[in-house]
Amino acid sequence: MKIKRQKHAKKHLSFYKHNFRFREPYQVLLDGTFCQAALKNQIQIKEQMPKYLMGEVQLCTTSCVIKELESLGKELYGAKLIAQRFQVRHCAHYQSPVGGSACLLSMVADDNSHHYFIATQDHELATKVKKRAGVPLMFIIQNTIVLDKPSPKSVAHVQAVQAGQMLPEHQKHNIEHLKDEQGVSEATERRGKKRKRVGGPNPLSCLKKKKKNEPKAPTPPSEQKKRKRKRKRNKSSVNPTVQTA
């Protein structure tokens, strides 16, 4: 039974590792309901979580979760004590705390860039978490911690990536990084082209005009200076033609 459970966890974990870049230490965000369930089922989260995930784990929560537990009084005092031992991650509600579930949901916004797992017994929160791709969900069932199988949303995201419909975030970054390294990022590409085109036609047109007006006279240094100025001015005026070309 235990081995089967671990096998599933390993399989689901590798899904998140390969497709969403999850790495150790795994960042597990826990809410009050999970702490309460752990207390009831005598689960030592700190001991069991790393065993179950077969790796280093960083247990964390938010001040909103702790404040909510505080507000719920005696019944959740034990859960509050557990939650207080976790690392408190910065959330966006420093000024006015929100409910624990709303807070945790906000923590996995923006494509879950911090690679959080969400550990909760709150079905409503779980349903909302499943609607986002790349957020592993954990809960306690029958006295044990369980990593839920990847949600249909996560699976669909991965299939879309594999079908080439979208690039995973990290690959976008990698490509940009490679471009930067080789000096072919979009910005430098554009700048390079502009320089060539701006630098190209201007001296030629200047020369032709000079030849027509005064072909034999050598250009005094003062005029050379003027020419340089003209080039600079023309940069902006040439731009529209660059765009149409």
Smallest gap from Cβ 241 to Zn ion, in A, equals 53
Choice between 53 and 91, CB closer to Zn ion: 91
Q: What is the DSSP letter of 32?
A: H
Task: Give dist(CA 89, CA 60) in Å, integer.
Answer: 6
Smallest gap from Cβ 63 to Zn ion, in A, equals 6
Q: Is 238 in the site for Zn ion (CB under 5 A)?
A: no
Q: Is 149 in the site for Zn ion (CB under 5 A)?
A: no
Task: Give dist(CA 7, CA 11) in Å, integer.
Answer: 6
Task: Give dist(CA 208, CA 159) in Å, integer.
Answer: 60
Cis-peptide, bond into residue 25, ω within 30° of zero:
yes
Q: Is 108 in the site for Zn ion (CB under 5 A)?
A: no
Smallest gap from Cβ 130 to Zn ion, in A, equals 21
Q: Which of 49, 76, 91, 133 binds Zn ion (CB under 5 A)?
A: 91
Identify the CA nearest to 83 among candidates 51, 101, 105, 60. Answer: 60
Footprint of Zn ion on 183-202 (CB under 5 A): none
Q: Which of 28, 45, 64, 135 binds Zn ion (CB under 5 A)?
A: 64
Q: Which of 8, 21, 67, 93 binds Zn ion (CB under 5 A)?
A: 93
Which region holds residue 140: left if phi is over 0, alpha if psi is between -120 and 50, else beta?
A: beta
In three-state form (DSSP H/G/I as H, E/B as E, the rest C), the secondary structure along 136-170 is CEEEEECCEEEECCCCHHHHHHHHHHHCCCCCCHH
Q: Is 103 in the site for Zn ion (CB under 5 A)?
A: yes
Choice between 83 and 103, CB closer to Zn ion: 103
Smallest gap from Cβ 31 to Zn ion, in A, equals 11
Q: Is 125 in the site for Zn ion (CB under 5 A)?
A: no
Q: Is 62 in the site for Zn ion (CB under 5 A)?
A: yes
The amino acid sitting at 224 is Q
Identify the CA nearest to 63 among candidates 20, 97, 23, 30. Answer: 97
Choice between 68 and 137, CB closer to Zn ion: 68
Q: Is 101 in the site for Zn ion (CB under 5 A)?
A: no
Which spans of this chain sit near Zn ion (rule: CB under 5 A)? 62, 64, 91, 93, 103
